[in-house]
Amino acid sequence: MKFDAVIFDLDGVICSTDEYHYKAWKTMADGMGIPFDRTVNNRLRGVSRMASLEIILEKYKGPALSPEQKEDLAREKNDLYRESLREMSTADLPEEVKETLDALRGKGLKLAIGSSSKNTPFILGQIGLGNYFDAVSDGNNITRSKPDPEVFVKAAEMLGIPADRCLVVEDAVSGAEAGHRGGMMVACVGDAAKNGAGDWNMESIRELTEIVKG
């Protein structure tokens, strides 16, 4: 086997919360009169909540905002976002994802999460993977957001597996860069795959079962 562990990004890889993020940011931005569309939204993939807010505020023309006002805006967005997350269930875990996870585990690989999201534990619980992973590294245990490699380096440390034996799975260009900067190989889906950001750019996550064999 080419790898001993696979570290999965959450949003956009294991489940699809992108649309919920978009709608919540859109409501906040509309309320402030800030132009916000899907092109700007694409830049928020894998980026932390506060860094996402700063990207959205690039188009804000009003009076300067204090750190407290920014915290309030981020909280407003997160409250809206979490309302959508409450509707999530095991039906939001795609079959191809669950089958791939089980197949990789069946090959003896360790499985971890490496996500920028502070909502990771809540989302995993909603989709029925609350106790599934061998390690969960997320927005609650990092100080630097992707493309910094911290979240993946911590996941590998939690597993006790060297970086070059870990494969990262990502949907964000910033996340693929984070994996590479952490000394890991990266398999991409979605937006990152379209941009050719990975060592493998997959059409389906099922391809992982072949990739890990080497």
Residues at the contact surface with ligand B16, assessed by CB under 6 A: 9-12, 21, 44-49, 52, 78, 115-119, 139, 172
Residue 20 Cβ, how far from ligand B16 at the closest point, in Å?
10
Residue 213 Cβ, how far from ligand B16 at the closest point, in Å?
26
Residues that bind Mg ion (CB under 5 A): 9, 11-12, 46, 171-172
Active site residue 9: yes
Residue 214 Cβ, how far from ligand B16 at the closest point, in Å?
26
Among 11, 138, 171, 191, the one annotated catalytic? 11
Q: How far from chain centre, in Å, is Cα 39?
A: 18
Residue 154 Cβ, how far from Mg ion at the closest point, in Å?
17
Active site residue 191: no
With CB cut-offs between 5 and 8 Å by kind, which of Mg ion, ligand B16, none does residue 49 bind?
Answer: ligand B16
- Residue with Cβ nearer ligand B16 (4 or 9): 9
- Residue with Cβ nearer Mg ion (4 or 18): 18
DSSP class per residue in the chain: ---SEEEE-SBTTTB--HHHHHHHHHHHHHHHT----HHHHHTTTT--HHHHHHHHHTT--SSPPPHHHHHHHHHHHHHHHHHHHTT--GGGS-HHHHHHHHHHHHTT-EEEEE-S-TTHHHHHHHTT-TTT-SEEE-TTS-SS-TTSTHHHHHHHHHHT--GGGEEEEESSHHHHHHHHHTT-EEEE-HHHHHTT-SSEE-SSGGGHHHHTT-
- Residue with Cβ nearer ligand B16 (44 or 187): 44
- Residue with Cβ nearer Mg ion (34 or 97): 97
* Catalytic residue numbers, as ranges: 9, 11
